[in-house]
Structure 1
Amino acid sequence: MTAEAVLGWFFAVVLALVALGAAAEVRRRFRLARRGVAAEATVVAFTVRRDTDGTPRHFPVVTFTLADGSTVEAESPTGTPHTPADGVGDRLGIVYDPRAPRKITVTSLDPGHTGCGMITAMVICAAGAAYGSFALTGELLSR
Structure 2
Amino acid sequence: MFGSATGTLAGCLARETHRVHVIRNRGVRTTGWVDRIRTDTDGDGDLQHFPVVRFELPDGTEIEAGSATGMPHSCSLAPGDPVETAYHPRQPENIVIIGFDWPANPWVFGLCTLLLGGFSATMLWDGFHMP
Task: Give the TM-score, by structure 1 length.
Answer: 0.83
Aligned to 1:3: none
Please point out which of 47, 66, 70 is paired with 1:56.
47
After superposition, the CA RMSD in angstroms is 1.8
**Residues 67-106 of structure 1: pairs in structure 2 closer than 5 A:** 67-106=58-97
Identity %: 28
Aligned to 1:28: 19
Q: Which moved more, 1:129-138 or 1:12-21?
A: 129-138
Unaligned residue ranges in structure 1 (runs of 5+): 1-9
The answer (yes or no) to whether the contact 2:3–2:121 under 8 Å persists in 1 is yes
Structure 1 position 127, deviation (Å)? 1.4
Aligned positions, number = 131
Mark the structure with the bigger radius of gyration.
1
Structure 1 position 111, deviation (Å)? 4.4
In structure 1, distance between residues paired with 2:50 and 2:18: 21
Task: Give the TM-score, by structure 2 length.
Answer: 0.90
In structure 2, distance between residues paired with 1:90 and 1:127: 41
- Do residues 44 (structure 1) and 35 (structure 2) align? yes
In structure 2, distance between residues paired with 1:29 and 1:100: 13
Aligned to 1:19: 10
Structure 1 position 18, deviation (Å)? 1.1
